[in-house]
Amino acid sequence: MDLSVKLPGLNLKNPIIPASGCFAYGREFSQLYDLSLLGGLCIKSVTMEPRAGNPTPRIAETPSGMLNAIGLQNKGADFVCRMELPFLEQFDTEVIANVAGATEEEYVQVIKMLNDCDVIKAYELNISCPNVAHGGMGLGTTPELAAHITKLAKEAAAKPVYVKLSPNVTDIVSIAKAVEEAGADGLVLINTLMGLSVNLKTGKPLLANNTGGLSGPALKPIALRMVWQVAQAVNIPIIGVGGISSAEDVLEFLNCGASAVEIGAANFADPYICPKIIEDLPKVLEKYRYSSLEEAIGKAFK
């Protein structure tokens, strides 16, 4: 079965994309399997300035998932451009750059620098990271703020812009619509849900950052609900993400209106999860009597 999906700037041979922050820049996973198997891959968030990230502990396991508070650790756009991205040129897969910053200006600076990197096919605007004091989620939790930064990003970008939205809001549909109106080429739904875990030995929050982003299977029903709501309200494509760890999960997201999906924390539990899902997906589509990927998209509300 043909699994290919055409989205703005992205010719995906299949709808499977490892999510930002769960795949670094591909080097480690390239030692496990051929990255050309992937529809695309989304690199770890890039900021203009290097960021050291948060103190440890940064990770806590939770029922059916995990909390993380890495804090956008990265060596900055210049380093990523020169030292990380050239490695990805050898693979036949579509690379998406996740862009973050402490200020609106920083997002624009990163985009301008990455415009010249041919290996990058599209941007994913991270206005939904819950683990940083400035920027991140703070820029994406009202329709006005989200639209404003989307507009700035679109003006700066020489490539399509997908906006990754936060679930830590009361009305994701209004934000999605505002972002669409501001010119976004697509949406990525959803980032992690802000959570907390307590260390019973100390009685204090387990993570040094106190709060962290919840990912893993625990997030899936929330992500599906949000994709389903937003897909009925916008006309731009949606990349679904949140708790996916099987081809059946992928099909659920397609049914709710996603055109492609990102795989996040499942890469930690099983580093071979993406090729496994790619292999299983045609069988699962056939099992549920779809003759194409397209046919499955949005069935939940059509």
Residues marked as catalytic:
129
* Cα dist from 110 to 54, 93, 115, 167, 196, whole Å: 21, 22, 9, 24, 31
User: Token pair of 13, please?
Assistant: 């041979």
Measured CA to CA in angstroms, residue 157 lies from 10, 163, 238, 254 at distances of 15, 13, 19, 28
Least spacing, CB of residue 98 vs other proteins, in Å? 14
Smallest gap from Cβ 196 to other proteins, in A, equals 16
Q: What tokens appear for 9 in the block?
A: 């700037």
Of 58 and 177, the one with the shorter C-beta distance to other proteins is 58
Counting contacts by CB under 8 A, is residue 275 touching other proteins? no
DSSP state of 297: T
Q: Supply the minimum distance, in Å, between the C-beta of residue 24 and other proteins.
A: 5
Q: Is 64 in the site for other proteins (CB under 8 A)?
A: yes
Question: By CB under 8 A, how many residues form the interface with other proteins?
Answer: 33
**Member of 2, 61, 155, 286 binding other proteins (CB under 8 A):** 61
What are the structure tokens assigned to 250, written together?
Answer: 């992928």
**CA dihedral in degrees (147, 244, 69, 103; nearest 10)?**
-20
Nearest approach, Cβ of 231 to other proteins (angstroms)?
27
Closest CB 227 distance from other proteins, rounded Å: 22
- By CB under 8 A, residue 294 contacts other proteins: no
The whole-angstrom separation of Cα 193 and Cα 214 is: 5
d(CA 276, CA 201): 39
Q: Pick between residue 272 and residue 288 the one whose CB is nearest to other proteins.
A: 272
Tell whether residue 60 is a contact of other proteins (CB under 8 A).
Answer: yes
Q: What character string, x for contact with other proteins (CB under 8 A) and - otherwise, covers 205-234?
A: -----------xx-----------------
Report the residue from 118, 155, 198, 272 that binds other proteins according to the rule CB under 8 A.
272
Q: Residues 44, 110: contact at Cβ < 8 Å? A: no
Instruction: Identify any residues that bridge with 187 across adjacent strands, giving them in sequence order.
Output: 163, 238
Least Å distance between CB 278 and other proteins? 16
- Residue 163 tokens read as 């906006």
- Rule CB under 8 A: is residue 270 a binding residue for other proteins? yes
Of these, 12, 42, 70, 156, which contacts other proteins (CB under 8 A)? 70
β strands within 47-137, DSSP E: 59-62, 65-68, 94-99, 120-126
Which one among 6, 11, 36, 56 touches other proteins, defined by CB under 8 A?
Answer: 56
The alpha-helical segments, DSSP class H, found in 11-142 are: 27-30, 77-79, 85-88, 104-114
Closest CA to 127 of 105, 98, 155: 98
Nearer to other proteins among residue 102 and residue 265 (C-beta):
265
Closer residue to other proteins, CB minimum distance, 276 or 299: 276
Q: Which of 97, 189, 231, 265 binds other proteins (CB under 8 A)?
A: 265
In the bound state with other proteins, the residue whose beta carbon lies nearer, of 156 and 241, is 241
Give the residues lining the site for other proteins (CB under 8 A).
21-24, 28-29, 31-32, 52-53, 56-66, 68, 70, 73, 216-217, 265, 267-272
